[in-house]
Structure 1
Amino acid sequence: MTALKKRKRQYQIQILTLTDQNPSKEKTRNQAKELSIPHFFPIPISFLKMDYLKSVVPSQLILEQGSNLVVINPGSANVRIGLASQDAPFNIPHCIARYTTQVPKRNVQDQVLNSQITTVQHMERERAYDVAASLLKIPFLDEKVANNALPRKMVRVDGFNPQNSRKESAFVWTDVYEKNAASSSATGVDNESGGQHQGADSQEPSSNEPKLKQSIYGEEAVRISPAEPYCLRRPIRRGHLNISQHYPMQQVLEDLHAIWDWILIEKLHIPLSKRIKYAAILVVPETFDNREIKEMLSIVLRDLHFSSAVVHQEGLAAVFGNGLSTACVVNIGAQVASVICVEDGVAMPTTEKTLPFGGEDISRCLLWTQRHHQTWPQIRTDVLSKPIDLLMLNRLKESYCEIKEGELDAVAVVHSYEDKMPAGSHKTRLTALNVPPIGLFYPMLLVPDVYPPPPRSWFHDYEDMLEDTWQMDFPRRTEMPDGLFPNSFNVGFPMWDNYPVFAAKPKKEEKVGLAEAITSSILSTGRIELQRKLFCSIQLIGGVALTAGFVPAVEERVLHAIPSNEAIDTVEVLQSRTNPTFVSWKGGAILGILDFGRDAWIHREDWIRNGIHIGSGRKYKDSYFLQAQAMCYINS
């Protein structure tokens, strides 16, 4: 145990060094020269690795090891992708819009939409508002509405053009036509990215007719007018692959591949032919099932042509991204919030809590609150059929919502988006802006009335990949190298057709508020010393963590949620050293850079031919215990 603790401590020192230091180029060059070792020097390679990690300057290590590592952190609303050597990733809406001739046209291809709140949900939502109002010391819902019997004055501001004000500027509809359409049609050359557009009558367009793009990605896809012949797809919803009867599995996987491939080409400038020189680090949320992770690995290795890949958990990566070893990680994403505890660099599976709400639900609650108080302009705001409206609500939330006592109003400009028309600007006074974010502690305010969770019947594969069921009947010929022997089923191709199913318990979603989830997660560790340490080491990640007043609100609410019979009287949220939105991505980059041994990495050929078999004879671990390998990478 002493040796293991020593290795863990050395690993922590390296992570702290990577996150904190930024030496000069001259110092980097000098130390690099000092580290050069003759080839004949008879020292075991493991000692050389450790000595190098102890001595190398962090910027030099990042430059050497991070230039060919691509870190992919997929989320429900956004995907963060970048080279490990970058300071920050590209943060791009995780969606694709495809041209369609379907009649009637579906604006958004998603799960079954349920925009109607039941009477019970409506009553519970109003009660939750009153509880939050009592906490924030603002009038209750009925009192507020009674005092505002007459609608507030709202002014339409035509041609509104504030100076350098991002939060007030309007979004612009996406131009769906190819930029070089006129020239290509005149010369008879077909555009590779857009392809030849076929109309509903399957006739060839005239030479002067502009061509529509076949696929549009990221924010441009969200800003397409509903009047255009496009269908928006989001391959991940509520922390899972967005599979449903309206969105088949094959389409989900094709869209994931297309989005990631587009980012690699357009943003990172890594064409398919050069990706064999790159390795990928997949930083996945705790909500993903093993089967979903396997499918993503197949996309990365088989379709995107990376030479090798490794999987790390989002919560664990966040801890390393902030240079910590033990913490309670609270990850508030756009559609899902999760809590998990990490001790000495190892995630604890029994502490995981998943909450079915996130930042987008706060934005929808903002709209509900304003409509209830009659402060929202008389415009058609619909997050279901017009995703651009959700972009506007997210921006208003980020600009004006905060958690503090007392009435919180603000004068803002709200925009209306009608089909293909320029955005209309409406100046109004928004009210109760502190209520939506406090809904994280009172989840009935954030009732998920828009998108239900994916049907769990689509996911039957919950087996623990630590067990040796995969290698029972597949003997290896001794003359073949490790990891390269054929077996009877292939993970790289249609995986689910003849895939063995192991019954186990699916991951559960909690129906409690954030404070109760944090408290329950930490108390489930069972050891008072660890509990006290975790309550003083809460780490908030995700964009919502940037909300003003959120940190003291978490500390206060968690302290009140601790049972009186527990000997704990202190709660503290640690300040993040990195932007909370990107800290998991950054942690994944650090883990990839420090992983010199690459024992947990899966090589492309091994994955396509042999599935999960690893050359050393161990099974690949894509569950919680995967992170335990991080402490053994360097000395292996």
Structure 2
Amino acid sequence: MDYLKTVVPSQLIAERGSNIVVINPGSANIRIGLAQHDTPLNIPHCIARRTSQVPKRNVVDQMLNSQVTTSQHVERERAYDVIASLMKIPFLDEEVANNSFPRKMGRVDAFNQQNSRKDVAFSWTNVYEKEPTPSTALGEKSSSSMNHGIIKESMGQHRNTDIKELNSSERKFREFICGEEALRVSPTEPYCIHRPIRRGHLNISQHYPMQQVLEDLYAIWDWILTEKLHIPRSERNLYSAILVLPESFDNREIKEMLSIVLRDLRFASAVVHQEGLAAVFGNGLSTACVVNMGAQVTSVICVEDGVALPNTEKTLPFGGEDISRCLLWTQRHHQTWPQIRTDILTKAMDLLMLNRIKESYCEIKEGEIDAVAVVHSYEDGMPPGSHKTRLTALNVPPMGLFYPKLLVPDVYPPPPRSWFNDYEDMLEDTWHTDFPRRSDISDNFYPGINVGLPMWESYPVLTTKPKKEEKIGLAEAVTSSILSTGRIDLQRKLFCSIQLIGGVALTGGLIPAVEERVLHAIPSNEAIDMVEVLQSRTNPTYVSWKGGAVLGILDFGRDAWIHREDWIRNGIHIGSGRKYKDSYFLQAQAMCYINS
């Protein structure tokens, strides 16, 4: 502890951050990197596997029903008109020429720094294995320098013959493709896209069994570690892993991910942090109401003095991808979308395009927000077509956060919860049993993986009841979460310490909209008269990952990573009334770390 009080943050980062991998998996993207890095890799959480199925399924997903009922149509149109009145724009079916509001044209080119790329078309992925060239063959690395020398010498002697033989042979399909490349695979190619996490849960269904979900998770994470972070399997016993997991995950899902990290990926040790709690430390705080707005799930949880309060947790079944879907619906209704086949269910490329348009042009601001944009069509592996069009009502889709009926229908229903109820005994017994030992891993790899019981006894998701999703808007969820703490002093502090994280938090105009709407959502009999959203010290997309890195580096000096039971005793005991040991000290260290 004395050492921690004297060491400078940069020295801590150099000493401890080089062998800690921080993994923050989400439904649509995974953020992963070494703790010493400033920012993580942000990679689409999907894999395209080669298939010989006929007829081929383009996507293995929860696409049970994409039909829109009449009542959903009516509710969506009503929500649009409510938002239109607030934003001072024409109602859904009102002609622009007949409305009395002045027409304000807004170009938001300066809003997003990535706007220089907003009109660039995506390209189809090359699905064939790359043929080695003399330069790449000679530059390949091996974990053994001796083997590297042998391989290099051999390739140097025979490279001309080998390359000639490869060029004359048939091109081979890649067995699987991960990340954004998977989303850019043409629907005509013999591949099926798998998304192992959907709506904050493992994406298990009758078409996507548990074992396949877990294999896909392993394949994606292993590919990132090997190809992107350059950590081969043979060296992973030198690394520790921090799992920064969303609050939406159930106990069994967390157990399965830990199994992947420890048993399959072969990390020496691992620890789990809650996403909301990590976000607080990621911004150098100790108390805040964390609003995490991801691609498919929005969650709210309050943290007091380094403790996440489980009774304040709210989960909302919508996120950034729903705003993108709403953008498409809005433009089609106004007939501003080109006459092209845009289908996010069968063509992941279309969702990539919609997400980019949303990030570049959508913002929350009064008046008519129109913009000229280039929309691309992606058909049957052909080169993308470009269509210049004027998009309208660009301030409506993000307002769906406050009026979620605008974002229906949900084309991705949540996984069947019966899967968890079938394993009630496992929820109780898993932590008492040893993981099966693999013959290729030494006994030193198992320093007591099953001794994590004390932490999980107090973990709030041990209940076998499925987590409740709230069918309310963002302002009501934040207000309800904070008021559920029951203490006026804490409530006042939390209402002035709202922290917006996740990719949607980058939406222009969102902060004042949250402050205004949360203030109006507070009941008049509550003695609260001020709401404030804190400015994030780092990119909101990476705050939780950064917080996981901070906690990992600061807590690494304790015996946590060697003797797991010691870490658990000093760690986060949610619901036990105890706070993270020395949380105020950690907060000060985190502030120093972030500002260094």
Q: Smaller-chain TM-score range?
A: 0.7 to 0.9
Give the corresponding residue for 1:67: 18
Q: Alignment partner for residue 203 of structure 2, among 242, 245, 251?
A: 242
Matched, 1:89 2:40: yes
In 1, Cα distance between equivalents of 2:338 and 2:476: 36
For residues 581-631 of structure 1, the C-alpha deviation after alignment (integer angstroms, 9 at most, x for no partner) is 00000000000001135455587xx8xxxxxxx479979978666993453
CA contact 2:323–2:398 (8 Å) conserved in 1? yes
Relative distance call for 1:359 and 1:208 in structure 2 (3 A) is same
Q: Distance in 2 between the 1:123 and 1:439 partners?
A: 15
Q: 1:602 to 1:386 in 2, by over 3 A?
A: farther
1:357-384, CA deviations, whole angstroms, 9 ceiling, x for partnerless residues? 0000000000000000000000000000
What is residue 304 of structure 1 aligned with on the other side?
Answer: 265
Choose which of 301, 304, 315 in structure 2 pairs with 1:340: 301
Local SS of the residue matching 2:170: coil
Measured after TM superposition, the shift of residue 178 of structure 1 is 1.2
| Alpha-carbon displacement from aligned partner over 1:537-582 (angstroms, at most 9, x marks no partner) | 0000001111110000000000000000001010000000010000
Aligned to 1:151: none
Q: Find 1:114's aligned residue among 61, 65, 69.
A: 65
Distance of 1:372 and 1:134 partners within structure 2: 18
Counterpart Cα distance in 2 of 1:182 and 1:599? 48
CA distance in 2, matches of 1:511, 1:442: 10
Relative to structure 1, the CA distance from residue 463 to residue 342 in structure 2 (aligned partners, 3 Å threshold; closer, same or farther) is farther
**What secondary structure, in the 3-state scheme, does the structure 1 residue paired with 2:527 have?**
coil
Deviations 1:264-301 (A, max 9, x none): 01111000000000000000000000110000000000
CA contact (8 A) 1:464 1:623 kept: no
Return closer, same or farther for 1:600/1:446 CA change in 2, 3 Å cut-off.
farther
Residue 33 of structure 1 corresponds to none
**Paired amino acid for 1:631:** D
Which of 502, 520, 527 is equivalent to 1:542? 502
Note the C-alpha offset of 1:116: 1.4
- 1:24 aligns with none
Deviation at residue 51 of structure 1 after TM alignment: 1.0
Whole-angstrom CA distance in 1 between matches of 2:69 and 2:238: 54
Deviates more, 1:540-549 or 1:105-114: 105-114
**In structure 1, C-alpha distance between the alignment counterparts of 2:479 and 2:452, rounded to whole Å:** 43
Where does structure 2 lack aligned partners over 5 or more consecutive residues? 100-113, 135-165, 434-443, 454-460, 587-596
Residue identity in the other structure for 1:557: R
The one-letter code matched in structure 1 to 2:338 is P
Q: CA deviation at 1:505?
A: 2.7
Deviation at 1:420, TM superposition (A): 1.1
From 449, 474, 477, give the equivalent of 1:517: 477
AA at the equivalent of 1:350: N
**Structure 1 match to 2:541:** 581
Measure how far apart 1:208 and its partner are.
Answer: 3.3
CA distance in 1, matches of 2:476, 2:218: 38
Residues 289 and 462, structure 1, Cα contact 8 Å, conserved in 2: no
Secondary structure at the residue paired with 1:459?
Answer: helix
Deviation at 1:258, TM superposition (A): 0.4
Unpaired stretches in structure 1, ≥5 consecutive residues:
1-49, 149-162, 184-204, 473-480, 492-500, 607-613
Alignment-mate amino acid for residue 208 of structure 2: Y
Q: What's the secondary structure of 2:390's corresponding residue?
A: strand
CA distance in 2 between partners of 1:621 and 1:464 (Å): 25
User: 1:551, 1:573 within 8 Å by CA — same for their partners in 2?
Assistant: yes
Amino acid at match of 1:449: D
Q: Do structure 1's residue 421 and structure 2's residue 372 form an aligned pair?
A: no
- Residue type at the aligned position of 2:52: T
| Aligned residue type for 1:360 | E
Q: Which residue of 1 aligns with 2:491?
A: 531
CA distance in 1, matches of 2:59, 2:573: 32
Greater alpha carbon shift after TM alignment, 504-513 vs 344-353:
504-513
> CA offsets, 1:151-202, max 9 Å, x none?
xxxxxxxxxxxx993001100000111120799xxxxxxxxxxxxxxxxxxx
* Equivalent AA in structure 2 for residue 239 of structure 1: G
- Secondary structure of 1:331's match? strand
Over aligned residues, Cα RMSD in angstroms? 3.3
Change (3 A) 1:461 1:425: same
Deviation at 1:356, TM superposition (A): 0.1
Which amino acid counterpart does residue 551 of structure 2 have in structure 1? Answer: L
Q: Cα distance 1:520–1:632, how it changes in 2: closer, same or farther (>3 A)?
A: closer
Number of residue-to-residue matches in the alignment: 525
Structure 1 residues 527 and 599, CA gap change in structure 2 (3 angstroms)? farther
Q: 1:266 aligned to 2:188?
A: no
Structure 2 residue 411 is the aligned partner of structure 1 residue 430: no
What does 1:442-461 align with in structure 2 at a 5 Å threshold? 442-460=403-421
Contact 1:598–1:633 (8 Å) recurs in 2: no
Q: CA deviation at 1:110?
A: 1.1
Distance verdict in 2 for CA 1:206–1:60, change over 3 Å: closer
1:135/1:485 Cα in 2 relative to 1: closer, same or farther (>3 Å)?
closer
Counterpart-to-counterpart distance in 1, 2:298 and 2:95 = 30
Match of 1:176 in 2: 127
Aligned pairs for 1:458-607 (under 5 A) are: 458-460=419-421, 504-598=464-558, 601=561
| Structure 1 residue 218: Cα displacement | 0.3
Distance 2:425 2:550 in 1: 27
What is the letter of the counterpart of residue 180 of structure 2? E
1:602 and 1:338 mapped to 2: Cα distance? 33
- What TM-score do you get using the length of structure 2 for normalisation? 0.82
TM-score (ref. length: structure 1): 0.77
TM superposition shift of 1:355: 0.1
Contact 2:30–2:44 under 8 Å retained in 1: yes
- Asked whether the 8 Å contact 2:560–2:566 carries over to 1, the reply is no
Counterparts in 2 of 1:444 and 1:145: CA distance versus 1, 3 Å: farther
* Closer, same or farther: CA 257–264 of 1 in aligned 2, 3 Å: same
Greater helix content: 2
Shift in Å, 1:207: 5.5
2:31 aligned partner:
80
**What is the deviation of 1:449?**
2.5
Indicate the SS of the match to 1:255. Answer: helix
Per-residue CA distance 1:36-63 (angstroms, 9 max, x = gap): xxxxxxxxxxxxxx11111111111111
Q: What is the aligned counterpart of 2:191 among 196, 217, 230?
A: 230
Query: Alpha-carbon deviations, 1:135-165, whole Å to 9, x = none?
Result: 11111112148969xxxxxxxxxxxxxx993
Matches of 2:131 and 2:359, distance apart in 1: 37
Identical residues among aligned pairs (%)? 79
How far apart are the structure 2 equivalents of 1:485 and 1:398? 45
Q: CA deviation at 1:504?
A: 3.6
Deviation at 1:117, TM superposition (A): 1.1
What's the offset of the Cα at 1:223?
0.3
Instruction: Sort the Cα spacing of 1:631 and 1:620 in 2 relative to 1 into closer, same or farther, 3 A.
Output: closer
Counterpart CA distance in 1 for 2:489 and 2:423 is: 33
**Aligned AA (2:70):** T
The match for 1:478 is: none
2:8 equivalent in structure 1: 57
Letter of the structure 1 residue corresponding to residue 10 of structure 2: S
